[in-house]
Structure 1
Amino acid sequence: MSSPTTLPRRIHVTEVGLRDGLQNEPVVLTTEQKLSLARALMAAGVREFEVTSFVSPRAVPALADAADVVAALRAETTGLHLSALVPNVRGAERALQAGVDSVVLFVSASESHNAKNVNRRVVESLEGVEQITRLLEGTGVALRGAIATSFGCPFEGNVPVESVTEIARHFADLGATHLSLGDTTGMATPPLVTERVTRLRQAAPDLPLTLHFHNTRGIGLANVMQGLALGVDRYESSIGGLGGCPFAPGASGNIATEDLAYLLEEMGLDTGLDLEGLIGAAGVAGDLMGRPLLGQVSKAGARLALSACDTVPTARGGA
Structure 2
Amino acid sequence: MRPDIMMTRDAATGKVQCLACAHHCRLGEGQAGICGVRRVVHGDLQVPWGEVSGLALDPMEKKPLFHFLPEERVLSFGTLGCNFSCAFCQNWHCSQVGKDPLADARMQPCSAERMIELAKNHNVRAIASTYNEPLVSIEWTAYVLTLAKAEGIHGCLVSNGFFSEEALACLTPLVSAANLDLKCFSDEGYRSLGGRLAPVLAGIRAMHAAGVWIEVTTLVVPGFNDSDSELRQIADFIAGVSPDIPWHVSAYFSTYKMPAEPERTPPERIAAAVERGRQAGLRFVYTGNDCGGVRQEDTLCPQCGQLLIARRGFLVRQKHLDNGRCPRCQHPLPGVFA
Superposition TM-score, scaled by structure 1 size? 0.49
More strand by share: 2
Higher relative contact order (CA 8 A, sep 6+): 1
More helix by share: 1
Superposition TM-score, scaled by structure 2 size? 0.46
